Chain A
Amino acid sequence: MASEYHSSGEYIKHHLQNLTYGQHADGTWGIASGAEEAAAMGFWAINVDSMLFSIGLGVLFLFLFRMAAKKATTGVPAGLQNFVEWVIEFIDSTVRGSFSHRNAMVAPLALTVFMWVFLMNMMDLIPVDWLPYAASMAGVPYLKVVPSTDPNVTFGMSLSIFFLVLYYSVKMKGAGGFFSELAFQPFPKFLFPVNLLLEGVGLIAKPISLALRLFGNMYAGEMIFILIALMYGGGWILAAFGGVLQWAWAVFHILIITLQAFIFMTLTIVYLDMAHAEHH
């Protein structure tokens, strides 16, 4: 399908462009036609594809789990309930292992993070051209189907988690306790500007590293899928080789998407555990 584009560069660019809705330079509202135009729209624009896919996947997750929850029996579980219970027991044991305080919110939060991130990552396994091509048939110019390759999505989650960390840090240790944790260690008190700088950077690094790790992994994975897809335009031999490569990378990617979802969840739990801990 790369033949529809003037160059491979254009093909790649097109695949990496979100469907952005915002205000054009001339004051009208609409879909941005290209990366420059999307950037020019500033902050008050929205990536319609990211929002739609992430909300759709989140709703799918909640719908499935809610269905299992409503029908949850204490008898022998079957089918969906079995799967849901398996996931929940896995999350529960992970939370019990890493989170040593009492907070009814952490386990459901971890479950949501894991399942949502996993489902968003899983969109990466759909061949890169299917959905964008179908969309272009329907008149939609851009479509990026993997929401976790959009930094807005990963930062939206990691910043929410960061605010939870701040909230629980202040709630558990008090504002003074939280400040002293940042200012009076690891060096003696008179060096508190150094401490504050070090700990402050460490604190800020949490949400940024959390979001960038997921984004980077998924973006790179998506990029490789796109590069492999480029081979389909290079003759039969290259296309066949590309097919093998795509299959191999998809198999490997199953590991990556699960691992990234698990890492995101585990770090969320660990950060919240640190926020609850009385001593550093």
Chain B
Amino acid sequence: MNFNATLIGQSITFIFFVWFCMKFVWPPIMNALETRKKQIADGLAAGDRGKHELELAAKKAAENLRDAKTQAGEVIAQADKRAVQIIEEAKIAAKEEGERQLAAAQANIAQETNRARESLRDQVAALAVAGAEKILRREVNAQTHAELLGQLKAEL
């Protein structure tokens, strides 16, 4: 066990090796490790986020479905109500129209009756005058007896 210059040589070599390791070996590998660690952490976080988003989307889809169902129900109920309403309205309109037409027909009938009565009255008056003429012939003056005839006509 004798010491010699190997001691110095070893020290220099050692210092050089440490320097080289510190400069060219440690940082790139540590960098790669750190980056990979970060990537893995990011990936896991992204996975979690994706899962969370999926849950949210499923919840939202269920909500939308429920909303759509409610809306459809409302629409159907409204349509039913509207249909009933339309039917009611149609019934009322039909009834009104029927009554109107009935009234018009009755008015028509009354008018026709009157007209027939008027013409009958005229004809009866004319027949009465003609009958009287035939009976009285000469004596009867149409002008003189017009007043009498008018009275007769009114009485008919």
Contacts and interface: CB of A to CB of B under 8 A. Distances in A.
B2 interface: yes
Contacts of B15: 160
Contacts of A155: 3, 7, 10
Of B10, B11, B13, most A-chain CB atoms within 10 Å: B10
A44 B5 contact: yes
Q: In the complex, which range does the number of interface residues on chain B fall in?
A: 20 to 34
Contact of B33 (A22, A66, A75, A88): A88
B154 interface: no
A105 B22 contact: yes
Given A62-B17, A156-B11, A69 B3 contact: no
Interface in A46-95: 46-47, 50-51, 54-55, 58, 61-62, 65-66, 68-70, 72-75, 84-85, 88-89, 92
Where chain A touches its partner, the secondary structure class is: helix
Interface string B16-47: 01101110111011111101100100000000
Contacts of B151: none
Nearest to A150: B6
B4 A22 contact: yes
A277 interface: no
A44 B4 contact: yes
Contacts of A151: 1, 3
A66 B29 CA distance: 9
Contacts of B29: 65, 68-69, 72, 84-85, 88
Contacts, number: 120
A85 B33 contact: yes
B24 A69 contact: yes
B32 A74 contact: yes
Contacts of B30: 88, 92
Contacts of A92: 30
Contacts of B32: 72-74, 85
Given A39-B2, A70-B28, A74-B35, A54 B10 contact: yes
Contact of B7 (A42, A109, A111, A159): A159
Contact of B10 (A38, A50, A62, A105): A50
A208 to B, nearest CB: 13
B35 A108 contact: no
Of listed A18, A22, A112, residue having the most chain B CB within 10 A? A112
Nearest to B25: A65
Contacts of B8: 156
B116 to A, nearest CB: 115
Given A44-B4, A66-B25, 6 more contacts: A18-B6, A43-B3, A69-B29, A116-B17, A152-B3, A157-B10
